[in-house]
Structure 1
């Protein structure tokens, strides 16, 4: 009769480290934002972007390029002289949140307008198969993307205030950081 091997340890293994050097909360928000952006792009292309005055497809493309470049940048080691670009990414995230807010506002304004070619009825006259439900869904998804981008930006801003550039973001390639103080002297002469 075969006996099962004895249990050596019941230790629970540690969680695997993510392959990207992005802080975990920002990484998860980025993944959700990418999925949401693809959904907004799919629903906005049903009406060729007309119901959002072409802002949703443009915002989707810019957001996808931004997230892909952040993920690609986070995988690269950096030289000690090069900046980490974390603060730049936080500022760009806030700007993208502003773009998504304007996208949401434009989609809501077009949704509430009752006349013209930029309405569901106007697009149906041209033969597009659009419905009010896809436009409402675009409004909700644009608002969700605004909240996601704001969450990424605020999370990155708080992390930068707490730690500076986080150690997990683009670690230097085996080098030590040496900070040199910079002294700037200015002289103001009165002008008459």
Structure 2
């Protein structure tokens, strides 16, 4: 497991600058190290799907981008309802597959749990690994990234979200919850 530097956010810190493009380049390097000849990539809606699209291009992968939605397996479905996000689209046979799941921010682990349940609706993978742009800690479930481009600490009152500009470049937004 990769151990990138940690960037804590203390109560006296008013802002945290994360260079999403630099972290993407680190993620690209990390995903290359996880890839085997039969490895499949699947991005979690929406930030992870954006990462998967760009990784497919940068890695020269020919197959269509696969997307995983957590919507139907969320444990907070009653509160959130059905999001208008993309639905799961897998362009490979899940049975026996070596899959790298991509996400932008790993926080509680609940989204990862939901997409693993979603994967098992399609078959039984041979292995599932997780690569994320940012691991912000705060886990409520025992999931860990096999690769994280950065590890940071944020108060639970803040939300870190990946955003994508019209030209495809990534940046982060930090909002109060």
Query: Scaled by the length of structure 2, what TM-score is found?
Result: 0.26
Query: Scaled by the length of structure 1, what TM-score is found?
Result: 0.25
Report which of the two has the higher share of strand: 2
Greater RCO (Cα-Cα under 8 Å, separation 6 or more): 1
Report which of the two has the higher share of helix: 1
Q: Which has the larger radius of gyration?
A: 1
